[in-house]
Chain A
C-alpha cells in the first residue's frame, strides 16, 4: 500500500506544469505587532496554486484562477481570506488565533461557545487522536481529558479497558469484573448507549465501542458535572461522553486517503532456563534444598527421567504463545458540501494482530452521512454506519476460558515435550477447530430540522443501533480426553431505539445584550437484548462443525460461570423522558443556565418510576468587566463558573419490580438433574433476591466550581475544576435474614462520595511568528473516593473474589474495594526476633496454631494480640487500588513542516497486589519441577539466619508451607504508580511545491511509536496491566509496543 502511494507521489512530480499568461501579485505578511512572518502559506482559492512567505515575510504569486480571493494560513494564526483587488501589492496582518475562545462545546442536544459554557466539560478533538494505532477511541482518550481515568489494562486487541469519569461509584457485595467500575453514558451521534446494557448479553467479549472508527470522530465532549449531565437525567450520574462523527464541510469534494501499517512487538520476556540446562539447574537446586528422604520421593520423573522422550523437551513457552504481529489501518473518505447538500462517505479497515498467537482484531466499517437542505426552513441529516468487528480469540475456547491456557499465568517447565497436536491445540492452530467471534453493528439515524421561525427550531432525531454478536466454536473430539467434540453457536442482539424531539428558541433582547436560549424536548428510548444459542458436546463426527444431531445429554444449558449457552433469552426496557434547559447571558458576561429532566423507566415499579433531575449553573466572565481593562493585555478570558445539580443512574436489572420464579430448580450438589421426580421444580428466585416495589434511581448530587482562563494572547490556557459528587441510594444487595428464604434484596442502600480537582493547562511557549513551535499540555485529575454510608448500621462488608482468592473490604469512610489481608512487616531475619506468648511461653503461631513461626517466615502482625495470626480478627486494610491521580502530559513540537508529538500518560497513588509473584512462589513451593525454571536467587526471599528480605523462605516441596504465599498478606502489595511515554509521533507535511506538482491538496507522512517507555515503582511486568480491582495476576494480556508508518493524502 505504501509503495503504491509513493509511486503515485513520484508520478505527480513528473507532471508538467501548465503555462498560462497571468498576473503576478506580491506582498508582505506580518503579525499584529508588525513582525514579519516567514513560512506563511498563501493560496489562491479554488486552485492548488500557492506559495509560502520568505524569511522576511514576503511573497510573490502568479494568479491562475478566477476566484479573486487568497487564503492565508499559518499555524497559530487565524486563517484569512483576502480579496484580490486591482492592487498588485498587499500588506496582510495576521491575527493570533485565540482558538479556545471560539471553540464550541457539545452539552447535550446543543452546542454552545466555550466562552459561555457554565458546565464542566472536557473536550478532545478528533484530530488529537487520529491515526494512532488503537482499535477504539476510549483507549485513546487516556490522559487527554481532565476528570477521566482510563486504564488500558489489557493488550488484547478489541477488548475493553476501564473508563471512569470522576471516580468510581460502583460497588458490590460479590465480585464481578464487568461491573467493578462505574462507566459513563456514551452518546454517539445522538444515540445514548449504556455500556452495562450493551454488555448484558455480551456474547463475544468485544468492546462494543470498537466498532466505531476513531478516525471518523470529529469531537469528543465529556460532560462531568451535574449542570451538563443533568440533561441526560437518569443516566448522567457517572458522566456523559458525547461523540460526534465527521460531516461534509463546505468546499469542493475532498478525497482523503490515510493509511498506516506497522509492527506489534511482543513485550519483554522474563529470563527462564530451558532444556538440559533447566534439568541440571533444578536438580542441583533441589539436591541442595531437600532432605535425603525427600530427594528419594519428591523429585518427579520429569527431572530424573531424561531418556523419556516426553520429558526431554526444550520448549520456550513464552515464545510458543507470543509472536510479533502487524497492525494496519486504511481510511478512505470522500466529503463535500454545496449550499443544499453535504455528504461524507468513508470506509475503514483496521487489522491488528494480537501478540498472543491466534488473537487479533479486524474491523471493517463504512459510513455515510448526508445532509439535505430541502427548503429555507427544512433540512434533513441522515447517518448510516455499518461495522463488523472480527475478534479472534485463539484456540476454540470454551466459554470463560483464558487465552493462554495456563493456571495463573505461570509457565510450565521447558522439559515437557508436547505432541504436535497439543501444540496446535494450545495456540489455536488445530486443524478443524473453529472460533468465530463477530460483532456486526448497524447504526442509522435521521434528523429533521424545521425552522418554524428564524428563532424557533423544531428538531426530531430518530435513530436505531443494532449490534449482533455471534460466537461459533468447534473443538474436534481429538482435543478432549473423552473424545467429545464440542460445538457452540450463539447470537446476541442488542437493539437501541431512540427518538428525540426538541424545540429550541433563541432570542436576544434589549439591544442584543440579553441572550436567551430555551430548549424543550422529549425522548423515547427502548433497549432490547436478545440471545439465542446452543452448545453441545458429542461423540460426533469432526466434519460436523455445527450443533446438529447432538445427543441431548450433552446439551450445555449454562457454562461453568452460569451464562446461558443453550437457550434463548429476551429482555427489554423502555424510558420516557422530558427535558428543558434555559441558557441566559447578559453581554456574554453574566451567564446562567438551568436544566431539568424527568425520566420514567420501565425498570422500576409503577409508583417509583419517575425521577426528576434539576440543575443550575452560573458563570461570570470577569475579563469582560471594565475594571479588568488594565489587565486586558495579558488576560484574554477569565471566567468563574459554578454548578449544582442532581443526576441519576439506571440499575442493571431490567425487571426489578418483579418477583421472579426460577424453573428447573431440581439441581443439587453432585447432580445434573433439573426436575424433582420428573416434574419441573419451580421456586421463587431466592438467590437473586426479592423484588422491591419502591426501588428507585441512584442519585448523584454534584457541585462544581471551575475557572477558565486564557492568558497572553491565547498562549496559555487553563481550565480548573473542583467537584464534590455524592452518590446516594446506590443499589446494593442487603443480606436478608435466613428466615425469609431469600438470600438478599437489592435496594437503595449505599452512599459514595467522590471529591476531586482537575487541571487542564495548555501552553504555546514560542511566539506565533517563530518557525519553531513548542506546545506543552498537562492534564491532571485527582479523585478521592469514599464510602459514606453502608447498610446494617455501617458494618464493614467483606468481598471475596473466588477466582483470585483475593479479599476486599468495603468500609465506611474509606475507598471502595480496599485490600483486606494480614499486615506483613517483612520476614523474621532470625529465630530470636519471634515473639512468644508471655502467659504460655509458646511461640507465636499462624493459622489456629497449625504453624509455629520460625525464622524466614513472614512477620504477620498479630492485630488482636492472641499470639496466633490469620484468624478473622487479624485482617486489616492494606491498600487502596483506586488511582488517586491520573493524567497526561503532551508536548508538541513543530518546525516548519516537521512536527513531533511526545505524549505521556500516568497514574499515581494506587496500590496494587502482585499476585503474579505470590503465584510464582506458590508454584516454586508446590511444583518446582514442573514450572518454568526461574533462578530462585533472583527472588528476594529469606535463605539463611540474619537475612533481611522481602519474601519468606521458599523451599520446594516443603512441609513448612503454611499458605504464606496465598493472597492473604500485604507482603505482595506494591506501589502501582506508573508513568508511560505512550506515543512518539513524528510527521512531515509535504510543501506546496510538491502539492502543486502532484495536484494533491495534502500529503503527510508520519511514524508512531506506541508504548515507548514505562517508568514504574512496582515489580510487576507492567503496572498498567493490573485489573480493575488492582490485582496483577499474570494471566492477563500484556500491553504490546507498536511501530507504525503512515501517510495521509488529500486529493
Chain B
C-alpha cells in the first residue's frame, strides 16, 4: 500500500508539472534567426542593418529578367539609350531594338515583366524606414564609437538610401506610392495609391538635405570609401534630384538649376574628389577611388563580385573572360560620331572597334584595357570582373553642373567644366565662340556625358531629362518618336503583378491598354 501511496503522490506531482513548466513550454523563441524584438540593440546591429540596406540596393540594381540577365541598372540606363545596336538575348533585346510596334525601348517585350516591377526598391525603403525608427532607440551606451556622430551617420545613410530608391523609381515610373514611416504591422497595410512624381521628388530632396547634415565627408574606415554614403554622395544625388525636378517643371524654376550647381560646388569645394589620370581609368571602375562619389560594392575582395549573368559578364569575352561569345553589340555609329580620334576614352573604353562583326566590338572600360580588373579564382574559372557599379563619380557631377550652367545660359562656366573633364582624356578644348547657341551647348553637354559615362547606366536619364531622346542626330541616327515622348512613353509601365496586390494603382497613361 505504501507503494501505491508513493505512486499517488508522484502522480499528483506529475499533474502539477504542466503549470510550472508551462511558461518554458509555451514561450519558445527562435534561436535559428534574429527577430525584431532582439535586433536593433547596439552599434553592430545598426551596422549590419545598414549593410542589409545597401545589399538590398545592390539586389535592386542587379535584378533579373526571366532569363537571368541580372542587370536592371544597365538595362534601364543604357540598353534603351542607343548605346547598343544589338543585344543577343531575347528578353532585353527588345529594349535595344524594339518590338511590339516600337522601334526601340519596347518596355512591354515578352519576359520583361520583372523590370516593370518596383518591388525591389520598396524593400530598400522599408529597410530605411526601419532604420530610421529603431536606430534612434539604441542607447548611447551600446555604441562602440562616439554615439552621436555614429548614430547620425547611420540615420544619414537611411535618409540617403530612401532618397536613392525613390529617385530611382521616379525616373522610371514617375508617380509612385510614397511610404515615409516605419509600419509596425505590415500584415494589415493599406493599399497606397501613387502620388505625384513632384511630391515624391520633394521628399527625395528633403531626405537628401537631412542626409547632408547627418553624414560626414570622410568615413572612419577607408575601406568604406564611396561604397557607403557620405556628405559628398548626398550632395551629388541632391544635384541629380534638382536636375530632375527642373526637368519635371519644364525649366519653370531656375532655382533648381542653381541649387544643383550649389550642391556640386559643395562637392568640389570639399576637396575630397579628383579626376584620376586617364591611364588610371581602370582604378576608377574598380572602385573606391578618389573619383568615386557613390558606388555599389561589387569587389572580389569579399567575394562580392558578379560572377555570371550580370552586365559585366555578358558584355565581355576573350581576352577578358575565358568565354567565346558575348551578348552586346555597342552602337558603332554613335561611338564613331561622338569621339575625336585622339580622345583617350576611345582607347580605354572600347576595344576591337574596327571589328567587322558588331558583336566583336567590346566595351572594356570595366574590365580595364589590359584586363586589370579581371580576377580568376576557383569560383570562376572563366574569370570575373572585379569592378564596382559606379552610380556617381566626380566627372559625372562636373558634367551635370555643366548641364545646369548650359541650361542657365552660362556658356563660360559650362565649358569650364566640360573642358576640365575633356582635358583628362586628351580631348580638344571646346571654345566659347562655337557655342553661342544655347541648344548647341546643351547638345554638347549631353554628348560629353555620353562620351564620359558610356554604358554606365546614365544615358537614358540624360536623354529623357534633356529631351534629346527624340533627336536622331545625337543617338547614332536612331529615333524615339516625339509623340511617345510627349505622352510620357519614356516612363516604364507598371507591372501587372503589382495590381493584383494593390487595387488602387493606376497604369501610366502611355501604357494603358498596351500591357498584356
Name A residues whose Cβ lies closer than 8 Å to a Cβ of B: 374-375, 377-378, 448, 450, 452, 458, 460, 482, 499, 501, 522, 524, 526, 551, 553-554, 569-576, 600-602, 606, 609, 654-655, 658-663, 665-666, 668-686, 690-692, 735-743, 745, 747, 792, 795, 848, 871-872
Contacts and interface: CB of A to CB of B under 8 A. Distances in A.
B183 A661 contact: no
Contacts, number: 251
B18 A681 contact: no
A739 B192 contact: yes
Contacts of A679: 47-48, 50-51
Interface in B358-398: 377-379, 381
Nearest to A380: B7
B357 interface: no
B144 interface: no
Given A661-B36, A668-B55, A680 B310 contact: no
B26 A738 contact: no
Nearest to B314: A670
A792 B25 contact: no
Contacts of A795: 500
Contacts of A576: 18, 22, 25-26
What are the nearest 7 A-B pairs in CB distance?
A669-B70, A741-B126, A673-B304, A574-B25, A681-B55, A679-B51, A683-B52
A738 B116 CA distance: 13
B444 to A, nearest CB: 37
8 contacts: A600-B26, A602-B27, A670-B306, A670-B313, A677-B54, A677-B227, A683-B127, A739-B192
A551 B378 contact: yes
Nearest to A452: B8
Interface string B206-239: 0000000000000000011001100000000000
Given A482-B381, A658-B36, A659-B36, A684 B130 contact: yes
B427 interface: no
Contacts of A872: 516
B179 interface: yes
Given A671-B304, A740-B189, A676 B123 contact: no
Nearest to A530: B32
B319 interface: no
Nearest to A871: B516
B56 A683 contact: yes
A658 B48 contact: no
A413 B319 CA distance: 38
A663 B33 CA distance: 8
A792 B503 CA distance: 10
B168 interface: no
Contacts of A672: 303, 307, 379
Contacts of B70: 668-670
Given A679-B50, A738-B118, 8 more contacts: A458-B8, A524-B25, A575-B25, A658-B35, A681-B51, A682-B45, A739-B125, A740-B186
B390 to A, nearest CB: 15
A684 B126 contact: yes
B498 interface: yes
Nearest to B8: A450
A843 to B, nearest CB: 20
Given A501-B15, A745-B186, A669 B26 contact: no
A572 B27 CA distance: 10
A740 B54 contact: no
Nearest to B70: A669
A669 B59 contact: yes
Given A375-B4, A501-B11, A574-B28, A665 B52 contact: yes
Interface residues of B, number: 91
B306 A669 contact: yes
Interface in B297-333: 297-299, 301-310, 313
A663 B34 contact: yes
B74 to A, nearest CB: 12
B58 interface: yes
B355 interface: no
A871 B496 CA distance: 14
A884 B301 CA distance: 60
A978 to B, nearest CB: 38
A378 to B, nearest CB: 6
B55 A448 contact: no
Interface string B105-130: 00000100000011100110111001
Interface in B37-63: 37, 39, 45, 47-56, 58-59, 62-63
A676 B52 contact: yes
B186 A668 contact: no
B28 A572 contact: yes
Contact of A669 (B49, B54, B62): B62
A570 B310 contact: no
A747 B26 contact: no
A681 B54 contact: yes
Given A460-B14, A661-B39, A683-B52, A571 B228 contact: no
Contacts of A450: 4, 7-8, 11
A524 B302 contact: no
A448 B378 CA distance: 62
A448 B11 contact: yes
B31 A570 contact: yes
A670 B65 CA distance: 12
B296 to A, nearest CB: 9
B144 to A, nearest CB: 14
Contacts of B501: 735-738
B21 interface: yes
Given A600-B26, A672-B303, A682-B39, A739 B502 contact: yes
A602 B28 contact: yes
B489 interface: no
B191 interface: yes
Interface string B181-192: 001001101011
Contacts of A501: 11, 14-15
Nearest to B309: A670
Given A553-B379, A671-B307, A736-B501, A499 B224 contact: no
B25 A602 contact: yes
A659 B183 CA distance: 13
A680 B378 contact: no
B177 interface: yes
> Among the interface residues A600, A673, A685, which one has the most CB atoms of the partner chain B within 10 A?
A673
A460 B379 CA distance: 58
A501 B16 CA distance: 10
A666 B123 contact: no
A524 B18 contact: yes
B122 A739 contact: yes
B122 A740 contact: yes
A553 B303 CA distance: 10
B64 interface: yes
Given A460-B14, A661-B36, A686-B123, A678 B302 contact: yes
Contacts of B22: 576
B199 to A, nearest CB: 15
A737 B192 contact: yes
Contact of B117 (A600, A738, A740, A742): A738
